[in-house]
Structure 1
């Protein structure tokens, strides 16, 4: 068994697609109309056949309070592995990405947390 798909709830699928592709560097995998929304996934450019991330609309009544509580408590909705958190922090900061937690050492890993502009905090991490 392996993870095939995971998701993050987003407040605007098109805005999320731009952020996750143009800024973070993922590539669009699936884009299928589903009623008023889309089945919209992205994958790592380094692993185009790997785990897909669904940019899931946050329209369900339980989602917005859930997302708001996570953000208020500083809890990331997802974590993405990078080669070097400090370099990725510099690259993304130069693109205007807002970080809620600067790079820090946490045991065997270095982490930082960013705002995905779609209502989520996202952690980037690398293991030393």
Structure 2
């Protein structure tokens, strides 16, 4: 058993793909035409960190309820965690790519951490090894 995908609701597929692939360095695994449950066209878009098994399904908001969840999927908490081997290099690369960090890097017992926002406004922890 394994966790295959998690969903992040976004406003725009292409803007989300650019953020995850260019700013975070993820791979675009799939971008295929698909259909909603009631037959309308949509896309099946999956990104994931290089070498990872679990991916993120980027789902364009469909309707008012989903649009209201964009950027607030976990009620303002950090809901996603990106662990890297070289915290400083990742932080510098992401900052240079325009990723918005909402906290400065700090040391915690579980490692180095800084909170950033994804393209939709969801909070993520960038996590690195403990010092």
Instruction: Tell me if both proteins adopt one fold, taking TM over 0.5 as the criterion.
Output: yes
Identify unmatched segments of 5+ residues in structure 2: 36-40
Cα distance change of structure 1 residues 72 and 100 upon mapping to structure 2, 3 Å threshold: farther
In the TM superposition, residue 72 of structure 1 has moved relative to its aligned partner by: 7.6
The residue number in structure 1 matching 2:28 is 28
Q: Distance in 1 between matches of 2:28 and 2:73?
A: 26
Which consecutive segments of 4 or more residues in structure 1 shift more than 6 A? none
Q: Distance in 1 between matches of 2:103 and 2:66?
A: 23
SS at match of 2:78: coil
CA displacement, residues 77-109 of structure 1 (integer Å, 9 cap, x when unaligned):
311111132321111112222111221122222
Identify unmatched segments of 5+ residues in structure 1: none
User: How is 1:1-128 mapped onto 2 (pairs within 5 angstroms)?
Assistant: 1-35=1-35, 36-47=41-52, 50-69=53-72, 73=76, 75-128=77-130
If the length of structure 2 is used for normalisation, what is the TM-score?
0.80
CA displacement, residues 34-87 of structure 1 (integer Å, 9 cap, x when unaligned):
24321100122234xx112111112243334344556884x2231111113232
Which has the greater radius of gyration? Answer: 2
Deviating more after overlay: 10-19 vs 33-42: 33-42
Cα distance change of structure 1 residues 69 and 20 upon mapping to structure 2, 3 Å threshold: closer
SS at match of 1:41: strand
Q: Distance in 2 between matches of 1:101 and 1:72?
A: 18
Cα distance change of structure 1 residues 125 and 61 upon mapping to structure 2, 3 Å threshold: same
